[in-house]
Amino acid sequence: MKKIAVFPGSFDPITKGHESIVLRAAPLFDELIVAIGINAEKQGFFPLEQRIQWIKKTFQGHSNIKVMKYQGLTVDFCKEIGARFILRGLRTSADFEFERSIGQINKQLDRTHEIETVFLLSEMEHTPLNSSIVRSVFQVGGDVNNFIPNAIDLSTFKKEQ
């Protein structure tokens, strides 16, 4: 049975923290799906298709890393694509508390108990990094290049108002 993992999130935008988790986890699985959860009530800052393109570019050349989008419960998406693992990153104890509750709720939602959540610790230099800080710096014209994957460039992006 193929070992497929889903790394769910908003990736609005993808950061060096996400990139590092994905690259370190990829050798552990046959296939790793970076999955953008679509929230009908929350549009996100960067357009969905743009976020997908940035993720594709980041992991170009890594044949077992793919990007997909999904709606609804993460566990339902996992079942749909035959994934038995949910990958999450941990930066701080606050992340741990948040992730513990999501992980345990997902266990309840997955009646067959086939899906396990696996966690990787963030690299020390990525601990303070999150997409929301990148968006804030970007919105006021700051340089975000140190925070996003080297393969991508946000400077050409213009937000349509």
Residue nearest to ligand ADP (CB): 17
Near ligand ADP by CB under 6 A: residue from 34, 110, 131, 149: 131
Annotated catalytic residue 79: no
Examine residue 9 and tell whether it contacts ligand ADP (CB under 6 A): yes
Q: What is the SS3 string spanning 3-31?
A: CEEEEEECCCCCCHHHHHHHHHHHHHCCE
Should residue 13 be labelled a site residue for ligand ADP when binding is judged by CB under 6 A?
no
Q: Residues 10, 20, 122, 131: which is the catalytic one? A: 131
Tell me the HSE value of 12 on the side-chain side, using a 13 A CA sphere: 19
Active site includes 111? no
The residues, any chain, with a CB within 8 Å of residue 103's CB and separated by 6 or more, are 86, 88, 117
Residues 6+ apart with CB under 8 A from 35: 6, 7, 8, 9, 67, 68, 69, 70, 74, 77
Q: Collect all residues with Cβ–Cβ distance below 8 Å to 23 and sequence separation of at least 6.
A: 62
**Residue 88 binds ligand ADP (CB under 6 A):** yes
Identify whether 91 is a catalytic site residue: yes
Active-site pick, 42, 62, 100, 159: 42
Of 4, 6, 11, 144, the one binding ligand ADP by CB under 6 A = 11
List residues near ligand ADP by CB under 6 A.
Answer: 9-11, 15, 17-18, 21, 88-89, 91, 95, 122, 126, 129-131
Instruction: Give catalytic residue positions.
Output: 18, 42, 91, 131
